[in-house]
């Protein structure tokens, strides 16, 4: 994907996030929290961990990241699937795709840059007593 197309994709994503946040503010203008599926938070935590490792990790590091956030290699196919795949495998390394970076940026715009450090812990995300369809609340 060339740089211009990547910027267009980011622009569309930002426009979508802004429209969604504006709609939410009209409904509840003083809302300081957002409810999300735990499964979505776990997936974003995996992408954030890859991003903070420089955007590329080894297969072994990827498996450790998955385990840290309650995921298994067997269940990681969603990261690699379809046109919107968030992770790609190349030469034994796993890297964030442009789509993965955009998805992570949308998440950060919605929940802030420090959501992982301040609001979530790997222990909370990896606790399988809480299934993916559980809902959690993050401060905006």
CA distances from 44 to 17, 20, 22, 37, 126 (A): 16, 19, 23, 11, 13
pLDDT at res. 29: 42
Per-residue pLDDT tens, the chain, 140 aa: give them: 688 887 788 878 878 777 777 766 665 544 456 677 888 888 898 999 999 999 999 999 999 999 888 888 888 888 998 778 999 998 889 999 999 999 999 888 887 766 666 555 666 677 777 788 877 776 65
pLDDT at res. 19: 74
Is residue 93 within 8 Å of 57, Cβ to Cβ? Answer: yes
Is residue 42 within 8 Å of 69, Cβ to Cβ? Answer: yes
| Main-chain dihedrals φ then ψ at residue 138, nearest 5 degrees | -110, 140
Condensed to tens digits (0 to 9), the pLDDT of residues 65-100 reads 998 888 888 888 889 987 789 999 988 899 999 999
For residue 136, how many C-alpha atoms fall within 13 Å in the half-sphere facing its CB?
Answer: 19
- 33-37 and 56-58: which strand pairing? unpaired
Residue 49 neighbours by CB under 8 Å, 6+ apart: 65, 68, 69
């Amino acid at each position: 994907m060339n740089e211009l197309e990547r910027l267009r994709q980011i622009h569309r994503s930002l426009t979508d996030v802004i429209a969604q946040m504006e709609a939410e503010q009209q409904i509840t203008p003083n809302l300081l929290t957002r409810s999300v599926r735990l499964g979505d938070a776990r997936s974003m935590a995996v992408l954030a961990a890859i991003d903070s490792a420089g955007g590329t990790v080894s297969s072994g590091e990827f498996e450790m990241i998955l385990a840290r956030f309650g995921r298994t290699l067997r269940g990681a196919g969603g990261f690699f699937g379809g046109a919107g795949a968030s992770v790609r495998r190349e030469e034994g390394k796993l890297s964030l795709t442009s789509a993965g970076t955009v998805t992570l940026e949308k998440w950060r715009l919605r929940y802030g840059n420090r959501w992982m450090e301040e609001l979530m812990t790997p222990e909370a995300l990896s606790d399988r007593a809480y299934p993916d369809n559980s809902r959690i609340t993050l401060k905006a």
